[in-house]
Structure 1
Amino acid sequence: MISPQILHGDIPADTWFDRWLPASWRPYSRLMRLDRPIGTWLLLFPCWWSAAMAAEGWPDLWLFALFAIGAVVMRGAGCTVNDWADRDFDGKVARTAARPIPSGAVSPRQALIFLVAQLLVGLLVLLQLNWFAIGVGAASLLLVFPYPFMKRITYWPQAWLGLTFNWGALVGWAAVRNDLALAPVLLYIAGVFWTLGYDTIYAHQDKEDDILVGVKSTALALGENTVAALWGFYGLALMLIAAAGWAAGLSWPFWPLLAVAAGHLVWQALRVDINDSSDCLSKFKSNRHFGWLLLLAIVVGRLW
């Protein structure tokens, strides 16, 4: 297998999308970031964690599949909105200038039509859930659409992203139990702090360009205090996850497995180099491992 290379910043080349998709589809696959699935994983895990926590035994694999499809299309929709809103900024930055909209591969009008198509698929997925979960899921749109503009308003757009990306912690529980409780609320808040950590690491890749184009981020707000802040963000996330596990009544194997997952976040905070873009990207992507470790902890804690 040929290792992907980077062209004009952040677009991988020679992925299976390039080899198998028709040429006319490729700009849209890049617009929804199918070639960079880490964002889909980070959106999906809170759904899976919560659904597994709410289950009475094995988690419902049909629900897991629905959430996976929903995460792909809704993450894609979020990327489409973000790129449409940032089309003028992205064209001025080398890392993002080759993205489909600023490069001209997809027009702003075509991007909006594609956005509607993705939202319709997301709606079809949502309609497979119970009515309470549908209402909870639909409410997330109040967070999704303002997000791309937060970086122009506040130095803490990562906090808004956390509120948006972890909404699945509420939807997953609602889809299983047809209600909400303390456990999913605690898990949701934990996810916000987790996102503050990993997306601050990610934002350090862009800090010079952000200054150039005049947008804000926690990387700029925290600067050299980022690592200290990571200990706080990740520490709060882990305490709230532990509280959610206790509120959900998970059995004792949850705790040692949670400690293993916690070790991964400790490793990130200890080893990240905020002045090395490649290391920041690597540490950011490694949160997929944390997601799997925590899912294992929850499933075993529920099954035991």
Structure 2
Amino acid sequence: MPSLASTKLALYLDLIRWNRPAGWLLLLWPTLSALWLAAGGFPGWHLITVFTLGTILMRSAGCCVNDVADRDFDKHVQRTAQRPVTSGRISTREALAVGAVLALAAFGLVLTTNTVTIAWSFAALAVALVYPYAKRYVSMPQAVLGVAFSFGIPMAFAAVTGEVPLLAWVLLIGNLFWVLAYDTEYAMVDRDDDLKIGMKTSAITLGRWDVSAVLSFYVIYLLIWSWVVAPRVSPLGWWLGVAAAAAQVVWHAALIRTRSRDGCFKAFRLNHWVGFALFAGVVVSYSVR
């Protein structure tokens, strides 16, 4: 029979989605890409460690806040009804305490960088805290998530160069469209449940144009990143990465075409490979220069 400590640990790991790394990988690849672009190549193990661990910690903290904010909605959604906070196995106070500890640990990592990065970390935290409540008032809350999930990009540039250039903001805007694509796929999974409880999502707002919009978001993402990245790196490596990402987009189009729950959820879960393809393109491009 499991001990109380092991049971609690299992609940905490479930709370932060430890067995579902796709969530933090979606944040990690654009952040690491930004580190390489800001440094003009390998950025050093210190910054790689800070941003990798920081990404995992902040995504985990965000899960705690999100589950507390959505606890009364999640019980009506098939996919989320058994989450620890929603099911009452973890109290809201306990979940927020776990989130606070994780966020403080992430902030401790940021303190090893520079003052500009530290300053921007407060803006990143503010956006992350706003997102769970945007779903009640904003027709496309995925756009708010897009900003939150892209904030590692300006912070990466700040950590490497001590400033946030225009390039970082263009990359952020491009990445926002990728978030719109994959989180709309995610929202398509829960559309029927969200309509019943009055939740606002891009899948509901876009209606019958959802599939076309998702594919358009992917295209805009790839175009914006290629526009600003291709001139700065070796073309061969970059375009191979783009080709690999584009091939996955075609596959995702087939997965979501019928709007089935399983197809949309599979497309969402595998999206981190799209980001990895572009990251690999950046790394290879600098390696062969």
Give the TM-score category using the shorter length. Answer: over 0.9
Whole-angstrom CA distance in 2 between matches of 1:266 and 1:174? 35
Unaligned runs of 5+ in 2: none
Whole-angstrom CA distance in 2 between matches of 1:173 and 1:99? 36
| Counterpart check, 1:99 vs 2:83 | yes
Aligned to 1:204, the other structure's residue is in SS state helix
Q: How does 1:1-304 map to 2 (within 5 A)?
A: 22-246=6-230, 249-253=232-236, 254-303=238-287, 304=289
Q: TM-score, normalised by structure 1?
A: 0.88
Change (3 A) 1:160 1:274: farther
On the 8 A contact 1:147/1:160 being kept in 2, the answer is yes
Whole-angstrom CA distance in 1 between matches of 2:258 and 2:185? 7
On the 8 A contact 2:234/2:286 being kept in 1, the answer is yes
Whole-angstrom CA distance in 2 between matches of 1:231 and 1:95? 24
On the 8 A contact 1:66/1:125 being kept in 2, the answer is yes
Aligned to 2:181, the other structure's residue is in SS state helix
Change (3 A) 1:257 1:43: closer
Whole-angstrom CA distance in 2 between matches of 1:200 and 1:94? 17
Change (3 A) 1:134 1:274: farther
Report the Cα offset of residue 282 of structure 1: 0.9
Identity level (%): 36
Whole-angstrom CA distance in 1 between matches of 2:217 and 2:205? 15
In the alignment of these two chains, the number of paired residues is 284
The root-mean-square deviation of aligned C-alpha atoms, in Å, is 1.7
Q: TM-score, normalised by structure 2?
A: 0.93
Whole-angstrom CA distance in 2 between matches of 1:252 and 1:89? 47
On the 8 A contact 1:198/1:284 being kept in 2, the answer is yes
Report the Cα offset of residue 194 of structure 1: 0.3
Report the Cα offset of residue 246 of structure 1: 4.0
